[in-house]
Amino acid sequence: GQPMALTRGSVAARAILAREACLIEDTLLDADYDPALAHGARRLYSVPLLRDGEPIGAINLAWREPGSVPASVQRIIPTFASQAVIAIGNVGLFNETREALERQTATADILKVIAGARSDVQPVLDAIVHSARRLVNGHSATAWRLQDGFAHLVAFTPSDPEADA
């Protein structure tokens, strides 16, 4: 994907820069948000991927309708973010990754993907964004990695309902 500058125009960049979850309740009412990034989304929630307190990316969730994010979503998405950080950091260390993910009560789907992805983190990131979107009944989900001061899209779910079928 195309690198994205870390500006307030992106919910992922906001979460990365703030090192905490960020919510845009309505993209149409947020003067700083770049509407070209919305792809039909009105509500956005982003959780940074933090390794030792330093941002390495973010997971985004999007909904077609504006509003707040349920507390249940606010509790589970950081778990997915932790899983992504572990997977990214331990691609070559399958056993440590599996044990750490089990301690974090990882979903069976994500563990299955990790088991088959000893040298490639992409299937893990794909499984995480798909599980996150499905779990919260969201419009779409994305994962971003921070490299050289830019956020790079590394996993996403389609934002077109026909593409999700």
What does the domain layout of the chain look like in residue ranges? 4-158
Asked if 131 and 108 touch (Cβ cutoff 8 Å), the reply is: no
pLDDT by 10-residue block (mean), the chain, 165 residues? 86 96 97 92 96 93 95 92 86 58 58 69 88 86 90 87 57
Q: Is the dihedral of CA 86, 56, 16, 144 positive or negative?
A: negative
The β-bridge partners of 147 are 150
Asked if 42 and 26 touch (Cβ cutoff 8 Å), the reply is: yes
Whole-number Cα distances in Å, 71 to 15, 68, 74, 75: 18, 9, 5, 6
As to burial, measured by CB atoms within 10 angstroms (0-12 exposed, 13-18 middle, 19+ buried), residue 30 is middle
Distance CA 119, CA 131 (A): 21
pLDDT at 92: 47
Give me the helices (H) in the chain, please.
Answer: 11-18, 71-89, 94-103, 108-115, 122-136, 161-164
pLDDT at 97: 54
Class of domain 4-158: alpha beta
